[in-house]
Amino acid sequence: MGLPPHLTLLYRGPLASCDYDCPYCPFAKRRDSPEALRADRAALERFTGWVADRAAEDPGTRVSVLFTPWGEGLVRSWYRTAIARLSHLPHVERVAIQTNLSGRVEWLSGCDLSSAALWTTYHPGQVAHERFLAKALRLVELGVRFSVGVVGEPEHLEAARRMRADLPDGVYLWVNAAEGRTYTDAEAALWQELDPHFHHSRYPHASGGLPCRTGDSVLSVDGDGNVRRCHFVDVPMGNLYDGSFRERLGRRPCPLASCDCHIGYVHLEPLDLYGLFRGGVLERIPHTLPQAVRGDGVPKGHRVRP
Ligand code: SF4
Ligand code: SF4
């Protein structure tokens, strides 16, 4: 079966180590053995080669990639190399990665910045405000597309407000509902002031039986090339490298009762988040930047991306 005109791949290899120590994360300060790192590198290079080969083997298909490592990828040279390589391929529309932004950023000047992008997360408690802000401002100078996110833990609120106030207007700051936490309306309103799209994250989305683009034009791929429709549905669809996934491509409703992660529900059709995030679905940048509120309560006004 041929591939769709546009294929999005969510790649997560075996890497499971991180240089940060977030209290809400199972990968905090985990280390990978040298063998595990070698395996991760080989898996990533194989995946990158497969994407590159689509130009010749599936010439009607454009590809976008979001790297969603369990741990931190950008402190490993092979993730930087993969993003730079993919960004320069004419058939690659977007290549992005989720990162804590702890590493250097100058390497991004070697990327095609019309296709490379970052989904960054600010983890107060792990990094000083000034240090994260300086990285973000350098990204702006370099012309990198990126969003900045914060996990909506109560102890992050002041830090998130301060970051919102100091980031340029043109940088979107999103807030993720903290895993397992429920918010009173008053609590949610505080986060909604910072991220006018917070309500999409506040509750899990009832997704059972609803049309979702995953499995059709969006796929999850692991380091061995095993394909599933998304990171959350544990039903194998075949393998990327032997082509066996192709015969199972197609539109199917979501088999789970709910979907509570942005990298999943952004593809859930009834939510129409492709409209909201048009041009920035993978790196989580809305097409029209919302009205954010400065720390002093003064609205920042609308910014429209070209
Ligand atoms: S930066 Fe991300 S991967 Fe690392 S410990 Fe924090 S939440 Fe986990
Ligand atoms: S709605 Fe979420 S869980 Fe369901 S198929 Fe789509 S991405 Fe997967």
117 Cβ contact partners less than 8 Å away, ≥ 6 residues apart: 94, 95, 96, 144, 145, 146, 280, 282, 283, 285
Q: Is residue 1 part of a domain?
A: no
Flag whether pLDDT at 304 surpasses 80. Answer: no
Q: How confident is the model at residue 300 (pLDDT cuts 50, 70, 90)?
A: very low
Q: Is residue 80 part of a domain?
A: yes
**3-state secondary structure string across 19-33:** CCCCCCCCCCCCCCC
Report the separation in Å between the CA atom of 19 and the middle of ligand 1, taken as the mean of its atom positions. Answer: 8
pLDDT for residue 292: 52
Mean pLDDT of 115-122: 98
274 CB near ligand 1 (under 6 Å): no
Least confident of 15-24, 155-164, 233-242: 15-24
Return mean pLDDT, the chain.
Answer: 94
User: Encoding tokens for residue 17?
Assistant: 């180590």
Say how many domains are in the chain: 1
Q: Is residue 179 part of a domain?
A: yes
Q: Which residue range(s) make up the domain with 151?
A: 6-304
Strand partners, 145: 117
Q: Is residue 187 part of a domain?
A: yes
Q: Is 66 helix (H, G, I), strand (E, B) or coil?
A: strand
Mean pLDDT of 126-130: 97
Report the separation in Å between the CA atom of 298 and the middle of ligand 2, taken as the mean of its atom positions. Answer: 37
Flag whether pLDDT at 24 surpasses 90. Answer: no
Q: Is residue 271 part of a domain?
A: yes
Mean pLDDT of 128-146: 98
Flag whether pLDDT at 296 surpasses 70. Answer: no
pTM of the model: 0.94
Distance CA 238, CA 231 (A): 14
DSSP assignment letter at 229: S
Flag whether pLDDT at 135 surpasses 60. Answer: yes
Q: Which atom of ligand 1 is nearest to the CA of 27?
A: 8
Answer for the pair 111, 74: CB distance below 8 angstroms, yes or no: no
Q: Is residue 156 part of a domain?
A: yes
The residue whose two tokens read 């309103």 is 189
Q: Is residue 129 part of a domain?
A: yes
Q: How confident is the model at residue 291 (pLDDT cuts 50, 70, 90)?
A: low
Flag whether pLDDT at 1 surpasses 90. Answer: no
Q: How confident is the model at residue 303 (pLDDT cuts 50, 70, 90)?
A: very low
CATH of residue 157's domain is 3.20.20
Q: Which ligand is nearest to the CA of 204?
A: 2
Q: Summarize pLDDT for 81-106 with one digit per residue, the tens.
A: 999 999 999 999 999 999 999 999 99
27 CB near ligand 1 (under 6 Å): yes
pLDDT for residue 226: 98
Q: How confident is the model at residue 294 (pLDDT cuts 50, 70, 90)?
A: very low
Q: Summarize pLDDT for 36-81 with one digit per residue, the tens.
A: 999 999 999 999 999 999 999 999 999 999 999 999 999 999 999 9
Helices and strands: H and E segment counts in the chain: 8, 15
Q: For residue 261, give the nearest of 6, 10, 8 by alpha carbon.
A: 10
What residue owns the CA closest to ligand 1's atom 7? 25
DSSP assignment letter at 43: H
